[in-house]
Amino acid sequence: MTASGRKLSGPKKKDLKNRRVGPRKDYKKIFSQILYVLLMLICGVALLAGMGFAMYLLSASDAFKVDSIEVEGNLHLTREEVLALSDIRHGRGTFDLDLELIGKRLEENEWIRQAQVERKLPRGIKVRVVEHLPCCIINLGYLYYVDNEAQVFKVLHHGDSLDYPLVSGFTREDLAQEHTPGTRWLEQVVEVIEELRRRTVFDITQVAQVHVDFERGLELFTVTHGIALRLGKDHLSSKLDLLEHMYPELKTELGQIEYIDLNVPGKLIVKRLDENRE
């Protein structure tokens, strides 16, 4: 009782009935989970170690030493040259070889456009190469081969064949980037040359040079007498049809002809050394 007459109350008792009690931790379960994870890690490490040891045994075993090497697709390169580029040697473990790296090394050669190397277990290796196929020779200050996909791929060296049409009218800058007027014109040149390879009357063996003028178009020069055949910029296939139809008659007169103009669709205009005749 206080001086004011209020009754003092003692310390309040905690309401134990309404108190939220958290669940007891199951330490046994937690320990079991940790032990399970550790066991799985140990098993994984053991498995990897076992696989590594097995690979070591395989690579060291004579049963997986390189015994045979097949080479396919080489046309200009000899088998010996391909093997030297690959650096694959008999007696090496097949699993010691980095096949992807060998393929990249082969593709560094100017002739090889694509290379694939695969194992033929237990003791074989197969090397497949796809070579560039020369279509013509282009003058870019130096002479280069151009393949049948209009890709400039190799500078000519002593001993390389010159038995291809010469392409002129380009600079290095014209072909420095893809999808430019220069690259499109080179693609057109290759298309014309490939079409001439398929023809039988006036064919590629009668063409010494293909000159490109970005404004005027294509101009062929014959092997015999160097007669200019002005094809222009479009309808090239139909113009070749007309030329092939008239060529047997013109062939005997090439010595008297200065040029043949096919720029006008459906017409073949012959400029003789001493006169004009249509």
Domain co-membership, 270 together with 142: yes
Q: Which residue has the higher pLDDT, 218 or 37?
A: 218
Average model confidence (pLDDT) for the chain? 88
Is 25 a residue whose pLDDT tops 90? no
Residue 247 belongs to domain spanning:
134-277
Is 107 a residue whose pLDDT tops 90? yes
Q: What percent of the chain has pLDDT over 70?
A: 85
Q: Which residue has the higher pLDDT, 17 or 143?
A: 143
Domain co-membership, 267 together with 232: yes
Confidence of residue 35 (pLDDT cuts 50, 70, 90): confident
Is 169 a residue whose pLDDT tops 70? yes
**pLDDT for res 165:** 97
Judge whether 126 lies within some domain. yes
The total number of structural domains that make up the chain:
2
57 CB burial (10 A radius; 0-12, 13-18, 19+): exposed
**pLDDT for res 134:** 97
pLDDT, tens digit (0-9, with 9 covering 90-100), for 250-269: 988 889 999 999 998 889 99
Domain co-membership, 214 together with 164: yes
Of 91, 107, 131, at which residue does a domain stop? 131
Give every CB contact of residue 139 below 8 A, 6+ residues apart in sequence.
166, 167, 168, 170
**pLDDT for res 36:** 82
Judge whether 56 lies within some domain. no
Confidence of residue 133 (pLDDT cuts 50, 70, 90): very high
Q: What percent of the chain has pLDDT over 90?
A: 67
Q: Which of 28-42, 93-107, 153-167, 244-258 has the lowest mean pLDDT?
A: 28-42
Confidence of residue 70 (pLDDT cuts 50, 70, 90): very high
Domain co-membership, 72 together with 186: no
Domain co-membership, 91 together with 192: no
Query: Is the distance from CB of 218 to CB of 212 less than 8 angstroms?
Result: yes
Is 278 a residue whose pLDDT tops 50? no
- Average pLDDT, integer, range 49-68: 72
Distance separating alpha carbons of residues 86 and 239, to the nearest angstrom? 47
Judge whether 20 lies within some domain. no
Q: Which of 60-64, 110-114, 182-186, 228-232 has the lowest mean pLDDT?
A: 60-64
pLDDT, tens digit (0-9, with 9 covering 90-100), for 203-239: 999 999 999 999 999 999 999 999 999 999 999 999 9
Domain co-membership, 123 together with 141: no
Domain co-membership, 106 together with 224: no
- Average pLDDT, integer, range 40-55: 76
